[in-house]
Structure 1
Amino acid sequence: MDKYSMKLYKDNNNNLPKMLEDFTEEEKGYYLSGLFEGDGNIYTRTFSIVFSIEDAPLAHYLCQYFKMGYIDYKNNSKKELTVVKWNIMKESEQRIFTNYINGKLLTYKRYDQYYKYNFDKKLNILLMKSMEFNVLLNPWLMGFTDADGYFYSALSNKLTIVMKYELSQKESYILVRPAPAGRTPKEMLLKNMVILVQYMKEILNTVTMTMFI
Structure 2
Amino acid sequence: MAFMFNLGNLIKSYKRLPFCGSSCRTSNTYRFIFEHGKKFSDNLSFFNQKRNFVHPSKPHFIPSTLVSELNENSNAKIKPISDHLRKHAKPISDEAFGYYLAGLIEANGRISNDKLKLTFDEKDHSLAYFIKKRVGYGKVISDDSVTYLLEHPQGLKAMLTLTNGKFLTSNFIDQLLNNEYDQKYEVSILPPADFNIQQNHFLAGFCDLAGYFSIIISDDTSDLEVKLCFLIRTNLPQQKDPTIFQKVQSEFGGSIYLDDETGIYHYEASSFQTNLKTVAYFDQFHLNSTRFVDYFKWRKAYRVIQRGEHHNQKGLAKLTKLKGSMVHKYESSV
User: Same fold by TM (over 0.5)?
Assistant: yes
Alignment coverage as a number of residue pairs: 174
Residues in 2 aligned to 1:110 and 1:31: alpha-carbon distance in whole angstroms: 15
Mapping 1:94-113, distance limit 5 Å: 94-113=156-175
Q: Does 1:143 align with 2:205?
A: yes
**2:195 matched to which residue of 1?**
133
Q: Given residue 274 of structure 2, which amino acid in structure 1 is its aligned partner?
A: M
Shift of 1:122: 1.6
| Equivalent position to 1:60, from 129, 137, 140 | 129
User: Secondary structure in 2 aligned to 1:54?
Assistant: coil
Contact conserved, 1:107 with 1:174, CA < 8 A, in 2?
A: no
1:33 to partner: Cα distance: 0.3
Between the aligned partners of 1:62 and 1:144, the Cα distance in structure 2 is 14
1:147-186 correspondence to structure 2 within 5 Å: 147-157=209-219, 159-171=224-236, 173-176=238-241, 186=242
Q: Which residue, 100, 103, 107 being the options, matches 1:31?
A: 100
CA 1:190–1:93: 2 relative to 1, 3 Å: same
**Measured at CA, do residues 192 and 73 of structure 1 come closer, stay the same or move farther in structure 2, by a change above 3 Å?**
same
Unaligned runs of 5+ in 2: 1-84, 255-272, 280-301, 303-332
1:190 to partner: Cα distance: 1.7
Q: Distance in 2 between matches of 1:189 and 1:162?
A: 21
In 2, the alpha carbon distance for the partners of 1:68 and 1:172 equals 27
Deviation at 1:40, TM superposition (A): 0.8
Q: Give 2:159's aligned amino acid.
A: F
Q: Tell me the TM-score normalised to structure 1 length.
A: 0.72
Identify the match of residue 47 of structure 1 among 100, 113, 116.
116
Verify the 8 A CA contact 1:46 1:88 in the aligned structure 2.
yes
Distance 1:57 1:150 in 2: 19
Deviations along 1:110-154, whole A, 9 cap, x unmatched? Answer: 101101111112222121111111110111000000011121213
Is the contact between residue 72 and residue 87 of structure 1 (CA under 8 Å) also seen in structure 2?
Answer: yes
Q: Which residue of 2 aligns with 1:89?
A: 151
- 3-state DSSP class of the match of 2:124? helix
CA contact (8 A) 2:217 2:226 kept: yes
Distance change in 2, residues 1:172/1:71 (3 Å): closer
Please report the RMSD computed on the Cα atoms of aligned residues, expressed in angstroms: 2.7
The residue identity in structure 2 corresponding to 1:202 is L
Point out the structure with the larger helix share. 2
- 3-state secondary structure, aligned to 2:141: strand
Distance 1:94 1:25 in 2: 15
**What TM-score do the two structures reach when normalised by structure 2?**
0.47
Which of 50-59 and 62-71 deviates more?
62-71
1:20 corresponds in structure 2 to 91
Code of the residue aligned with 1:19 in structure 2: it is K
**Change in CA separation of 1:29 and 1:188 when aligned onto 2, cut-off 3 Å:** closer
How far the C-alpha of 1:167 sits from its partner, in A, is: 0.6
Q: Deviations over 1:38-78 (max 9, x none)?
A: 0111012101111010222211222123322110123xxxx
CA-CA distance at 1:37 after TM superposition: 0.5
Q: Which has the larger radius of gyration?
A: 2
- State whether residues 175 and 189 of structure 1, in contact with CA within 8 Å, keep that contact through their aligned partners in structure 2: no
